[in-house]
Amino acid sequence: MSAESWQSVPLAPPDRSYLQVDRRLQADDFAKKINLGVGAYRDDSDKPWVLPVVKKAEQKLLSTPNIDHEYLPITGLPEFTGAAAKLILGSDSLAIAEGRVTSVQTISGTGANHLGALFVARFYTWGGNKQVFLSDPTWVNHFAIFKNVGVEPLTYPYYNPATIGLDFDGLIASLTSAPPRSIYLLHACAHNPTGVDPTKEQWGKIADVMLEKGHYAFFDCAYQGFASGDLDGDAWAVREFVRRGVSLLVCQSFAKNAGLYGERVGALHVVSPDKETADRVKSQLSVLQRSEISNPPTYGARIVSMILNDRGMFEEWKRDVVTMSGRIIEMRKQLFQLLTVELKTPGNWDHIVNQIGMFSFTGVTPDQSKALTEKAHVYLTVNGRISMAGLNTHNIRYFAESLDRAVRGTL
């Protein structure tokens, strides 16, 4: 009998995400090629942007004489998790004041989603099969994260291709017809990949049904501040749900809004009905975290903690966030102007300025998306999603003209 050689391991299918798009782009030597698949912010010169406040925090951290490289507690840097909780739930959060919030530092938002999924897989009181409802569409990694912990992902209606907007009636119908106490994963702001968010009034009606049915809200918040430039405004849905007593947890990432993509800084916050429950939740999250990563990394958490806990640096960070979100909003306005006023591209393009955040569902067909990539060297996903961060004053006209020709069938 021979030892395991792994020769029977099947080859994984090709990555259908923007990473596959990126590989094709790297091999393209066309001078005007545009990468609209990137999931990271770029400045007007199409370069990565290190936030000035992050540079300042790094310099301050590196000049600290007593800095060390000891392990953090299993649940992370307390100064970071405490400040992160206040950022998403509000500095005046009653849940925090009453000790009902359990916060754990995670490996960015992905790690928060994983730890949250693992926690509900182990401890949620399931009335039947272990299932979670994800928006259609959603960030593709949500499916793998829940499958990997034994929770079956189902989908609920979210995006309406006919209106290039929210299928609110379908969403409410799903919430109403789902089994009581179902788990619904909700994007707190800047829905990925559509850029379509509910209004405050719609969020209120969603909360009504969640409460009526006893559903659990699994919030994913990857774009606080990055969506609109307003940290408090982008956290409104989460805070409103907490205020109204909807049972929930929140996955939080500082990849986008702090530009710390590679540092993997995130947190998971579970809101409990009382402090005693929160203490038990923390004990179990500690056990799960210990077996997964033992202790979270220090560097990124120290940077974010410094920014969140220093009044001057926090104000500077807010200005940096406005710089990023403002540039993306301006690109939306310019693209809308080019398509509607100058080029008079067929169709309604209001969604370009109505959507929010890094991504936009353009509404183009798969054939039109392929034509843009193959003939105009504009790289986007086949479903028509583009990263607005990939547009700038140097390439937006070329993109608009290419999009116009693709829609007209003349590309």
Report, as residue numbers or ranges, the catalytic residues. 139, 220, 256
* Separation of alpha carbons 396 and 45, rounded Å: 12
The amino acid that residue 340 corresponds to is T
Among 272, 282, 291, smallest CA distance to 149 is for 291
With H, G, I as helix, E, B as strand and everything else as coil, classify residue 373: helix
* Separation of alpha carbons 77 and 103, rounded Å: 10
Residue 216's DSSP bridge partners are 183
* Separation of alpha carbons 84 and 316, rounded Å: 17
CB 246 within 8 A of CB 77: no
CA 346 to chain CA mean position, Å: 31
Give the DSSP letter string of 224-291. TTTTTS-HHHHTHHHHHHHHHT--EEEEEE-TTTT--GGGTEEEEEEE-SSHHHHHHHHHHHHHHHHH
CB 225 within 8 A of CB 325: yes
CA 303 to chain CA mean position, Å: 20
Cβ neighbours of residue 31 closer than 8 Å, sequence gap 6 or more: none
* Separation of alpha carbons 203 and 200, rounded Å: 5
